[in-house]
Structure 1
Amino acid sequence: MSRKSLRNTIIAVFVLAMTMGPGPGLRLINPDASDPNATFTFAGIPTVYAWGLFWYAVQLIAIIIAYKKLWREDTPVHPE
């Protein structure tokens, strides 16, 4: 994978994670309170909290990959 395509992939994944964590993704996983068979927990923690943690982990992984693969010491901070 070229550096440019990796950069674009990381940007897309990060933006997706930022959108799905606090945004429309909550509507996908938040159960209807009036449903008698609704499950409000996942692995012993609230589903909404687990959903947020998952997307924060995705953001963290994207940052770590960018740090390891894209950010270089020889890259100027302020290109002129």
Structure 2
Amino acid sequence: MIEEQQPPPYPKLKWILSAIFLFALIMGPGPGLYLINDFAAAGGTLAGVPALYAWAVFWFVVEAGVVITAYRTIWRDLLE
């Protein structure tokens, strides 16, 4: 017996998550650092945390959120 494959419940979600992840990947360690570099060089902090560290942690959280969202929606369907 061949089972019919159903279309994924969120067809555009994989493209949206991919775009967000790639954007976060670029903004974290790449050109995004130049946006905050002058503020960090002047000794700037965000909530008492050095600006460059806060910038990197923020983009890491965005990337982790994308992975968790993909696991709970897209990849979960593939495992079942």
TM-score range, shorter chain: 0.7 to 0.9
Q: CA RMSD in A?
A: 1.5
5+ residue gaps, structure 2:
1-8
Matched with 1:78 is: none
Secondary structure at the aligned position of 1:30 is classed as helix
Matched with 1:44 is: 48
AA paired with 1:63?
A: V
> How big is each residue's C-alpha offset from its partner over 1:11-64, in whole Å with a ceiling of 9 and x where there is no partner?
00000000000001100011164xxxx452111111000000000000000001
Aligned partners of 2:35, 2:44: CA distance in 1, in Å?
A: 13
AA paired with 2:26?
A: T
Q: Between Structure 1 and Structure 2, how many residues are aligned?
A: 69
Aligned partners of 1:25, 1:3: CA distance in 2, in Å?
A: 30
Matched with 1:3 is: 10
Structure with more of its chain in helix, by fraction: 2
Question: What's the % identity of the aligned pairs?
Answer: 43
Aligned mate of 1:25, from 32, 49, 64: 32
> Is the deviation greater in 59-68 or in 38-47?
38-47
5+ residue gaps, structure 1:
75-80
Checking the alignment, whether the CA contact within 8 Å between 2:43 and 2:50 is kept in structure 1 is no
Instruction: Kindly report structure 1 stretches of 4+ aligned residues shifted beyond 6 Å.
Output: none
